[in-house]
Structure 1
Amino acid sequence: MYTAQESRQIEQQTARLLQTKRSQLHNLNPMQTALLAEELRTVINYYDWQYYVQATQVIPDVDYDYLFDLLKTIEQQHPELQTPESPTQRVARGLSTEFATVTHLVPMLSLDKAYSEADLLNWDTAVKKLTEREQVEYSVEPKFDGSSIAMVYENDLLVRGATRGNGTDGEDITNNLKTIPTIPLKAAFATKGIYRAEVRGEVVIDKLKFEQINQMRAKKGEALLSNPRNSAAGGLRLKDASKVGERKLEAFVFQLGIAFDANGNDITIPLLQKHTNGMSIMYDLGFKTPLKTRDESVHICANIEEVIAYCNHWKEHRKDFPYEIDGLVVKVNDLQLQDRCGATSHHPRWAIAYKFDARQAITIVERVEFQVGRTGAITPVAKLQTVNLSGANISNASLHNQDFISEKDIRIGDKVVLERAGDVIPYIVEVVIDERTGAEQPVVFPENCPSCGSRLVKPDGESVWRCINADCPAQVEERIIHYASKDAMDIRGLGVEIIRRFFQLGWLRTIEDIYRLNYEEIARLDGWGQKSADNLKASIEASKNRPLQQLIIGLGIRDVGNATAQTLAKAVTSVFDLPNYTLEQLTQLPDIGPKVAENIVGFFAEPQNLQLITALQQLGVNTQKTEADMPAEGGIFSGKTFLFTGSLQRLKRNEAEKIVEKNGGSILSSVSKNLNYLIVGAEPGSKLDKARKIAAIQILTEEEFFELLQNNG
């Protein structure tokens, strides 16, 4: 699915994305945010494919979690950027075609994550609200770092075993699972009144046994296994089941997912009542469970304070555990309360994974390079002596800006403490001052742009040096990438790396050059051919007919995202009307404040931007309002504005937004006095707090929204 070159490119993208701070998100304009979200979706989908299809983990959990949480944060703050295919809208994607696909009896969802005591306390508060209880009993168990499985037993016999897959469907690996000694081929479920059950578990390798396996492989001259987790996942998917035994796999069960009686009735809750009772039944039936193994590691806590104390204990003793664990799983113990809590499309609300702190390593700052961002921001990047940390080789770390370097007194040649944590990954924690030799050199910021040579400036009140040359090659390249992106002109086949290649070849120097490409030359490029060139041509030609809203996005006006572009497209007949709008006229439009208005006026005051839209029109690009830009006339929501926050249960957010637009309403990107309705789903963000401060905004639940739709329809 991915070539070696594409994999390398995505890994390079990842290194850059991991330098993004959550705290910096609010500094990005809508276009930058949209681009960041698209990049995150691309790399996360790649790592999902590697992990679930290839059974290869090429990125540490802490890095994957950070990228996923960063994307989730962006989509929560900017609902208009959420797409149906986003990784946040599903558990994972992709299945190998080498094993038959089977559907789980109950979806195997992911777990939400906690990184601190505060996160656990916030989750506890949410659970108490959902369950309407002042005190909730929890179970705590190790979060094994292995490969998840689901096993179906019928009439006491193991009839099917599957990988977690995408959460809904997995791969049938029954024959391989039958080779694992800790998985009973027959278990006396009937003695408990159970005639069909799905059992969830994790396949792992004992750390000591893993070392022994590698020692044997080294003696035979075979490649060493990278880590226990990859070895377990790979072992489960070996085509030759007879070789699975060589991996010394074990399976721990962590949940009796669902149980049916002889009549097919779901008896899970009335039979078990508590999660820990289910674990005891599993133990009694001969399964290997965390309960009653070496450390009595399924633990019952009467309240969240006991949970926190237990988590702190294992933070200090994780190295003593015989298997790799990367945290603890906290669950509401009462199954009826679990049912009350429910689940999102991604994770149950009744469980959370408490992740251990990232490990640290010491490395050396070998040099510092300076990167030019899309807005001209200059970012220093430390090139490090490669060090392995949490299973990944790290050679880069962002130094963010001059103030960060000065605050930590980072010098070239310094030994530094490196960490891969939730907020900044990778992150230089501190300099090892005692190890300085006197040969270290200060980091000197360039006076001129590394890309175009223009003099850099540092605006008042900012910590970032910038290149203000609008013709800077690095910035121009990024503008072209934005124009072709999915949220803008959606030119499929003209991705980031292809644009960079064409830019290096001199074929793309402006946005309008996209429509002047020579397809005969492209067809002669290595890896292309006539068919690929023809497909690209068709995609570029199709982009000429995009709605006006997408063209406005593609122009790259600072702070103009989907919602603002939609507002502008509805207000004008043509893109050529926009240069005539005054600040006062713009601020009278919904969702446009003074800052955005200034950016729009400033953009069209630049002669080169007027030349751009004229050139695009001459090249056949649509510059007029289309039917897709028009609000539905006479719709029940005509003239009304809406904003959604939180997770909807009945349909995806983008689907709800389309319903609003189909009925004449408009979608805003943020809470303001121009907002009529805020629709609140599960786990709403800060928009709800802001809306409560504006009396004119009507706040509706998801059900009230549908009632409004039905009563007026």
Structure 2
Amino acid sequence: MSLADEDAEENPYLRDPQTEFESADQLSEAEAIEQVELLREAVREHDRRYYVENDPIIADRTYDALFARLQELEATFDLTHPDSPTRSVGGEPLEEFETVEHVAPLLSIDQSGDADDVREFDERVRRELRAGGDANERGDGHADDLEYVCEPKFDGVSMEFVYEDGSLERAVTRGDGREGDDVTRNARTIGSVPQRLHGDYPDFLAVRGEVYMPKDDFQAHNRERIERGEEPFANPRNATAGTIRQLDPTVVADRPLEVFFFDVLEASDLEESHRAELERFPEWGLRVNDRVEVADGADDRSPIEEAIDYRDRLLEARDDLNYEIDGVVIKVDDREAREQLGRTARHDRYAFAYKFPARAEVTPIVDVAVQIGRTGRVTPVALLEPVDVGGVTVSRASLHNPEEIAEKNVDVGDTVRVQRAGDVIPYVEEVVEKGAENEPGSHYELPDSCPVCESAIERDGPMAFCTGGLACDAQLRRSIEYYASDDGLDLEGLGEKTVRQLVDEGLLGSIADLYELERADLVELEGWGETSAENLLAEVDSAREPPLPDFVSALGVPHVGPATARELAREFGTFEDVREAAECDPERLEGVDDVGETVAETIHDFFASESNADAVDDVLAHVSPREADVEDGGDELEGQTFVFTGSLEGVTRSEAQETVEAHGGNATSSVSGNTDYLVVGENPGQTKRDDAEANDVPIVDEAEFRELLAERGIGLE
């Protein structure tokens, strides 16, 4: 009988609880303590019912109300406790994980995908059990009565969980099998990890569990990442591993992790068999998998043949499970026999993994995510059951555009063949089998609105575009990255990772915000210091008077890269004139080299957009693009290539680049073997210096650069 059945009358928060509470400030401390204890007891039981029994007895809203009340009382009366259910919401970020030795080694498992190897395992186990121990006393009982416990082989992250007096003392990653990282604070955020055990539990218990991300939650989480413009995880295991080792527990709390417990590592009171241990786990609140079976030879076949059949049946059911498995684990049930078999340096000799064959190229589409590019282009991405394609695990593939989806009749639920273009980009080649609920010829339809900003999605020939412009967060992030890229203003130190961090921390909500960054805010960020903050601010400051071609290109106007931006600058001379022509006289744009009717229309649409116009105005409040220098200064630097890093004295870096180009030279953004000089100013970036040294490129300071120009009769003012 469970706690909910025994103590419903004594604990009012177990069945049909009232969620109207009197104000906390009306309670005495003694009353608060009593209510907190009852709430903790009830929340633990509701967690067990939900995660272990899969049989909740209250609604989610009711549970949330009880949990919120417990949080309120603990905070008001300072009643926090390490094993309180409220610890599941996370805590302050850690600087690093502590390395902890395991109670018992977390060894790997010998494995094979060949049934004959599984039979050989059985023969070895029986042979060693017959040969071991005192045969006169023991006889051959362990070998003759051998039974196996068969379990799914989870494809997650294996961990050790240690309970002392029923409370979770620590949770440790597998690491090298002997020691791992103490991730207790992260483990407490996982709902199916009990903070405190139930029932008649051992005083000391160390168990092994597998933390995983359910497949449906993984696909939903990946979809969110794609639509936010972030790189999705390759598979659920990578997602789990990346999450459990986050230094910020609140990040872990926001991600959908679960756990199955499957072995006792050490306990103050051991059971005689593995199956008996697994039967006790739910009584203690430890969640076990419902696919576990015992192969005991009861159907007149040998236990190992039953185990092989179990694997084959689980292989057929694999796609219907909501967690990834890559085989089954076959374990000797009797604990005394396990001890006799012992272990090698790498694996326990009482267990064997019978692996599944890798999924190869053909896999079902679980969902479709919509990715928004820098220019608003909508790219549908198929989210797949992870599949092996050329030795690489693939969980997503491009569907390219709406027209191609229609041509191939691709829909969610269809089984498709996946290929990799140039061994890099996965794509859906063809539909192998339509989904059971899909009509022949049916295909996925794009949503009417952008999943990020809710602006309308419009078709343009075979393509589709979000009309939100720079007001769309997905386009914003990529626009900032492009603005700072080699094709934009070449702001060193503002790559994808940094931009994502600054946007996520609320420091960048627009391109214009780059020019309002404060050193004090930057140095507070993880991984930042005084030097990195000052270097970034110097880079941004050097871009307040950019060359007109660089600025036009940096805005990310569709179809306008550096070459087209240069032609526009030469034609119009100032940014005001470029903008006026784009807004009021798009036909005039068609007279510019590299600009045809389609490109001219695209430029007009960009500048005519109200949201884009506002974003550009905000940037112009901080930036004054220089007029284009249309005069040819000569060919004194012809054939010479220069790269600049850091800020120069007396002139901007952009002015120095313009001078080089006006006199026949090239000013590029990255160092290569073709670079003749790297010009280093104040607060230079280390990457370009490293590249220069690697390519034997001469490094000169500003004075040496000015002297080099003067030798050729070129002034720099």
- Using the size of structure 1 for normalisation, the TM-score is 0.37
Greater gyration radius: 2
- TM-score computed with the length of structure 2 as normaliser: 0.37
Q: Which has the higher contact order (CA 8 A, sep 6+)?
A: 1
